[in-house]
Every structure is written in structure tokens, then in C-alpha cells.
Structure 1
Amino acid sequence: MTRRKVFDPDTVPPSFWRGNQVQTALARRDIGALFRSYLDAFDDCTQTQLALLTEHDRSDVSNWIRGTRHGQVSDIGVLTRIAEGLRLPDSARILMGLAPADALVSSVRDEREMSTSEARAAGDPDRRRLDGSDLTSVRIAICGSRAAHVNANAMDAAVRALARLVMVRRLRVNHGPIGIGIEVMTHVADHYQPPGLRGAVAIFGRRNVIADAEYVVLVGGGEGTRAEADLAMAMGKRLLPYGASGGTAQVVHQQLHRNPALTSWMPPRSLVTLDQCAHLDPGVSAVDVEQMTDDFVDMLDEVIHTDQGESLA
């Protein structure tokens, strides 16, 4: 009797893990949706083989797939067995909330401590600009605070979504000693626990925070954030305000809307999303706030891809 060959997860192409449905399932830790996508994509993999690969009973796998067992999983042990069994790449592990397997490549420590050669060595060959260089040099400034007239739910959602983006895209982040930027880095440390993140180095002085950043992301904020935004405009920086978070971010969005020259660098589709993420209706649900925040951060990700000429192939 011929034994059926076990599916080899190393044959899964990187493009599978970049699919929208798969990335959504990973971010939500929805194992049922992840397994369904996996089986749909690979005909030679079965529920039994998924069970063997991830060290689970076949009945557990079947229940996840059929939806009779709650798809969202929080147990780190279960998630780790799935990640290791399916050979998840670091970007997929991070989306799921696990530390990357390759600590060197995925370190989010302050890269001012790294030499140019180290930073280049940390580059991912799958993340290349069209000119062949990598994206390890991309730096964003995250500015904002929980000042008066901000939307607390939108601020909370922004911290989570921006932390995920920083980890997945390995962006270099400028931030001050207080405010939303340090919240994002703290969230990265607490929830993703990357081995290389030993501390977040704050930058003093508003001009210093934005001086070498290519993009300035505004979330909420008061007078201090407005000063940073004014400096960024004077220096020709590319501003991306999350208007729905309120405060300075909403004021700056209105200013950008009145002066199209300030957004002329943005792709039209991204500009539409920026406008759609400018306001929250009263009484909007937490789910809708989360979705709008994700839309804003997805737009930020797309803008960086387009503007930097990154090849996603």
C-alpha cells in the first residue's frame, strides 16, 4: 500500500501570505478562515495533513473550518504550533501577533544604533524598490497625542494598526518622549515582543522629530502636534493626517483639502481614502471605528509602496 505524501508547507509561495483574505485572517487570528484559504489554494493539502502539520486533532481542524469552533484564537501555544507547522514567514507571524523567527531581520530596535552595512543586511529581498534598493531607509514620524477633542476609540485603534504596520513593513519610526508615537512602540514591545527591541529612543525637539522623516503621520494631537505639522509643511514633508482621530489631525486634513498642492504627490485612490477617513459620525460602532482605522493604515502602506516604487512581486 502506497503512503500518501505529506503536504510540504515550504512549497507555499510568498504571494499566498500577502493575499488580502489571508492577511485579514492572520491579523484577526481567525484560524478557521486561514485554514479555509489554505485548503482552497492547495488541492494536495487535506484537513488530515493540516492536523498533522499543526499538531492538532483532525476534529479540531474540521471544527475550525466548519465554524463550529470559534475561529479566533488567543492561545500563544496554539498559534505558535500553527505558525511553525505551516512555516509562516516572519511578516505573517507578526500579523498573527507572534515574534518573528528571524530576530536579526525583524528587529525593530532604533536603527540609529545600526551601521549602514547592518541596516542593509537586515533588508528583506522581497521588499525592494524598483531601482533594486531595499526599504530599510524609509522613516516615518508618528506625531500626535491624546489632547482635548480627540476620539479615544480612534486613537486606540490607530495605536494597534500602526504598530502592526511598523512590524510588517519594518519601518523606522521617529517619535517624541510622550504622545502617540511612543504608544505605538510600546504596543509593539508588549504585544509582538520582537527580540531586538530593547528600548525606544525618543527624540527631543519638534523639528528633530520630523527632520529626517519622509512621511509625517498625524493622529489626534493638540497645540504641540499642530506646531509639528506646520514645521512639516514648511519643510515640504508629506503629511498623512488621520482626520477621524480628531484634534490637530482633523484640522490639518481640512487644511490639506483646501490646498490641493499639499496632496498632489498622492495617488488619487489614496487621496479618496484619506478623505473617507476624515470624520466619524456620532454613535458609530467600535467595529466601524476599527475598520476605518484599518483603511487609513492600509492607505498609508499603499502610499509608501507607490511613492517609493516598491515592487511587491
Structure 2
Amino acid sequence: MFDPGVVPASFWREDVVQVALARRDVAELFRAYLTQFTDCTQTQLALLTQHDRSDVSNWIRGSRHGQVSDINVLTRIAEGLRIPDSARILMGLAPADALVSSIRDERELADADLQLVPNARRRVDGADSSSTRIAICGSRTSSANHQVLDAAVRSLARLVMVRRLLVNHGPIGVGIEVITHIADHYQPPGLRAAVAIFGRRNVILDAEYVVFVGGGNGTQAEADIAMSLGKRILPLGASGGSSKAIYQQILRTTQLSDWMSDGTRAALESCANLAPDTGPGDITRVTDDFVDLIDNLVDADQGDLRD
């Protein structure tokens, strides 16, 4: 049997391969693979990717449409060919070592209680010390903008997947929606269950950033706890609900934004409001801008650790 482990990383960076991955064009990917690695036959390729040989043959000959949207098919191909994480992401799949949720026990929480120094990092769940932990809080209340919530879930899911963020979330709400979206649309290997954290303080306790989307009274209570612990708070004001009120609190209370740069404040403000006639494209832009803000903060933090 052909060993995919011998395929060099440079193959996945070739232009034709990158285009095929981005388009999810299985036919073009298989043709490039067989052309470059002549020891691999169509039969072996079928066995590796758990397909019938006729399916592989039809893809290669062009008698079967080459672009694939079925996430299960793409996952089998990625795992069978041992596609590296950078290429998996290009296909729209989660990295093989994505860190998306974690299990807590009382001892771990007690240990975290002693480490409330701002910006401190701990090794949790075997993750590298450069991994960032965020808490995602909020819910779908009547005062929240549900279109913004839908877009925020998609944007946050991509961020968590690509950045390999560690996520704290409760049993219901936006946080668990983000993890469910990742499971349904990216299928990280090994993600079979998401373990929720009970207790608002426990959700926030060891998070480096606390993200708020929508929400009601419970979300406001989580924000009050986060403020009392000196956490770095990032509300998506445009999502409405408690998140809008939390953003207004930040404007009124200087110490809540002392940690922010002028650029961070401006970016947060740009995501705080929506015009009455805002369309779906503008909503996506706002949530993407909000996630880009978080991404830039995480990147700066991890850069500091590397330095």
C-alpha cells in the first residue's frame, strides 16, 4: 500500500494543488496526486480515502463532477491522505489537532482560582503554553439581533478552528452553538462531544478574553463577574441584548478599557451599531471585523510569548 507519509509538505503548497483544495476539486487533486506519485494507483487511492475504485476513476476521467461539498467525503480524503493542517484549513476542514473544548474538574478550577493575574497563561488539557483561552458568553434573547448572532457563530467558529483556541462555554447559548457549528461544518478528528462548564464564574475564571454576543440577564451577570475579575471584555454591541449594554458600560467606565489600544477601541466601536437598513452582507462584515479584532489581539499576545 502506498504510504501517504512519504508525500512532502511542498506538494501541498504547489499552485495547482492549492487551487484544487480551495475549490474542493477532488478530481484535480487526485490527478495531481497520481501524476506526482506514480507508486500510488487508483485502487490504492480508493482504499486510502474509503471510496469505490469506480468513484475515483470517474472523478479522474471527468465523468463525475469533481467539486465536492460533502464534509464527510472531504474528511475521509483528508485523513486518508494525511493532509497537513494548512491544507485542511484551505479545504474548509478543521486542523487535525484543533483545540475546541475542554473538561474541568474541581481541582482544576480551584487551581485556576489562585491564578487571576491579567494575561497569565497556564498549561491546560495538554495544550501548548501559547494557546489562548477565551470564554464565549451570550444567548438568543428577544432583544438580541438573531441575524447578527447567526453570522457571529459562523465567524467565531472559523476563528476558533484556525487559531486553535481553547473555549469556555456553558451548557446553552452562543458558546455551545459555536462548537456545534465546528462539529457540523469542519468535523475536527476526535470531536464527539462538547463538555459544558456549569457556573457563570467557572466559565469566566481562567479565560484571557471574555466575548459577549447577544444575551439577557444571565449574560449581564457573567459580564459583572468578568469585570470584578479584571478580565479583558469584548462585547459585540451590534448583536443587541446584554452585549449592547455591556459595550455602553465600557464606554462609561474607563478602567474597563484601560487595557485596550486606541485601535482596539475604534474597532470595537465600529462593531457596536447597525443602521436600520443593514443588509446580510453588512452584517457579515461587522461580525468578521469583530472576529478580526479578536484574532489580532490573540496574534499580538502569542507574538509576545514567542519573543
User: TM-score normalized by structure 1?
Assistant: 0.68
Q: Which one-letter code corresponds to 2:32 in the other structure?
A: L
* Equivalent position to 1:52, from 11, 14, 32: 32
* Equivalent position to 1:164, from 158, 161, 178: 158
Where do 1:120-199 residues align within 5 Å? 120=126, 123=128, 134-136=129-131, 138-199=132-193
Distance 1:232 1:281, change over 3 A: same
Deviations 1:212-251 (A, max 9, x none): 1111100000111011101111111110001110111111
Partner of residue 200, structure 1: 194
CA distance in 2, matches of 1:259, 1:95: 42
Distance 1:30 1:290, change over 3 A: farther
Deviation at 1:186, TM superposition (A): 1.1
Q: Does 1:250 align with 2:255?
A: no
Partner of residue 38, structure 1: none
Partner of residue 31, structure 1: 23
Q: Which one-letter code corresponds to 1:31 in the other structure?
A: R
CA distance in 1, matches of 2:88, 2:209: 26
Deviation at 1:80, TM superposition (A): 6.5
Partner of residue 11, structure 1: 10
Distance 1:271 1:91, change over 3 A: farther
Matched pairs, number: 258
Deviations 1:186-212 (A, max 9, x none): 111111111222211111211111111
Deviations 1:128-176 (A, max 9, x none): xxxxxx323x211111000121111110011111111111111111111
Q: Does 1:231 align with 2:225?
A: yes
Q: Does 1:110 align with 2:102?
A: yes
* Secondary structure, aligned partner of 2:234: strand
Equivalent pair of 1:108/1:167 in contact (CA under 8 Å): yes
* Secondary structure, aligned partner of 1:213: coil
Deviation at 1:308, TM superposition (A): 4.4
* Secondary structure, aligned partner of 1:239: strand
* Secondary structure, aligned partner of 2:210: strand
Partner of residue 52, structure 2: none
* Equivalent position to 2:216, from 214, 222, 225: 222
Q: Does 1:274 align with 2:274?
A: no
Deviation at 1:75, TM superposition (A): 4.6
* Equivalent position to 1:98, from 83, 90, 93: 93
Distance 1:49 1:174, change over 3 A: closer
CA distance in 1, matches of 2:263, 2:29: 42
Moved over 4 A (4+): 48-51, 53-59, 75-88, 115-120, 310-313
Q: Percent of pairs identical after alignment?
A: 55
The gaps in structure 1 that reach 5 residues or longer are: 1-7, 35-47, 60-68, 124-133
Q: Which one-letter code corresponds to 1:279 in the other structure?
A: N
Equivalent pair of 1:53/1:86 in contact (CA under 8 Å): no
Equivalent pair of 2:102/2:125 in contact (CA under 8 Å): no
Deviation at 1:31, TM superposition (A): 2.9
Q: Which one-letter code corresponds to 1:94 in the other structure?
A: I
Equivalent pair of 1:270/1:302 in contact (CA under 8 Å): no
Deviation at 1:13, TM superposition (A): 10
CA distance in 1, matches of 2:189, 2:218: 33
User: TM-score normalized by structure 2?
Assistant: 0.69
Q: Which one-letter code corresponds to 1:52 in the other structure?
A: A
The gaps in structure 2 that reach 5 residues or longer are: 1-6, 35-55, 109-121
CA distance in 2, matches of 1:144, 1:247: 9
CA distance in 1, matches of 2:159, 2:227: 24
CA distance in 2, matches of 1:84, 1:196: 12
Distance 1:204 1:216, change over 3 A: same
* Secondary structure, aligned partner of 1:240: strand
